Amino acid sequence: MNLGELLQSAREESRLSINDLSDVTSIRAGLLSQMEENDFSHCGGDIYARGHLRNIAPLIGLDAAKLIEIYNQEHSVESRSLNDLLAENNVTKVPIEKKSISWKTPATISLFVLAVFIVVQVVISNSNSSSLADTDPTPAATASTSASPTPVATESPTVETTVAPGVTGVKMEIAATRGNSRIHIVADGKTLEKGSLFQGESRSFEATTSISIYFSNPAGLDVTVNGELLAPLGGQNEEVRRTFR
């Protein structure tokens, strides 16, 4: 007689149905039926199977130790250690393995925080650049006209330009349409104006023989000589000297 047959025979002699035994032990009736068919594969392992046998044994008049001995002989495939026996009898608890945190986790978090910081810095930098680009470069009305010229990167050589034949005298108009400039105008050997020309301002000059000009930031100025608008006389922040005859 195998273990399952022994359980069924003892239960029937105790005049208990499968459902009666299930109600008392809180073990599913289906599982009890499988155990009586000598199938312990659904008990969840040796420890649970032995626990069920301990609960059933006193209710059907059998010795729990004897049932477990038969179970070990017929069904147990593991070599039971002292720790297993102590755990089953509640003498000790099965140790819980503590999982250590991988170094990859804090490293990933650090990289994420660094990436967010870089993105924020880039956004702030772009915002500041946009604000500076939108700022009106025109100086305040109280700016001193004797301020020093803006430092320049390069300086163009003095160039003399001859006015077209048939034109009497030289007429010049300078308009600061795209930026500020420092100008120095000499007509027929005399200084007509020396100082700052702010964006939006313009000046007109006339001479009998020649007009010599010195100015900074030629890229921001429109220069018209005898009614003809000249091409830009230099780049941004350059210093240029020209003479028109």
**By mean pLDDT, which of 80-84, 92-96, 165-169, 209-213 is the weakest?**
92-96
**Where does the pLDDT of residue 233 fall: very low under 50, low under 70, confident under 90, or very high at 90 and above?**
confident
Tell me whether domains 3-88 and 159-244 share a fold. Answer: no
pLDDT at 79: 44
- The Cα–Cα gap between 189 and 173 comes to 18
Rounded CA separation 199/211 (Å): 22
Topology at the third CATH level for domain 3-88: 434 Repressor (Amino-terminal Domain) (1.10.260)
Q: What is the mean pLDDT of residues 31-49?
A: 92
**Mean pLDDT for the chain overall:** 80
Q: Which residues contact 152 (CB under 8 A, 6 or more apart)?
A: 216, 217, 237, 238, 239
Tens of pLDDT, residues 115-130: 999 988 888 887 776 6
The answer to whether residue 147 scores a pLDDT higher than 50 is no
Question: How high is the pLDDT of residue 191?
Answer: 95
Query: In terms of pLDDT, which residue wins out, 54 or 146?
Result: 54
DSSP 8-class letter at 206: E
CATH number of 159-244: 2.60.40
Instruction: Write down the pTM of the prediction.
Output: 0.34
Res. 30 pLDDT band, cuts 50 70 90? very high
- Domain boundaries of the chain, sorted by first residue: 3-88, 159-244
- 78 pLDDT band, cuts 50/70/90, is low
Tokens of 29: 């009736």
pLDDT of residue 145: 43
Indicate if the pLDDT at residue 97 is higher than 70: no
Average pLDDT over residues 164-178: 81
**Distance from CA of residue 193 to its chain's centroid?**
56
- Residue 92 binned pLDDT confidence (cut-offs 50, 70, 90): very low
Amino acid at position 232, single letter? P
The answer to whether the CB of 210 falls within 8 A of the CB of 187 is yes
Structure tokens at 129: 């650049």
H-helix or E-strand spanning residue 119: helix 104-134
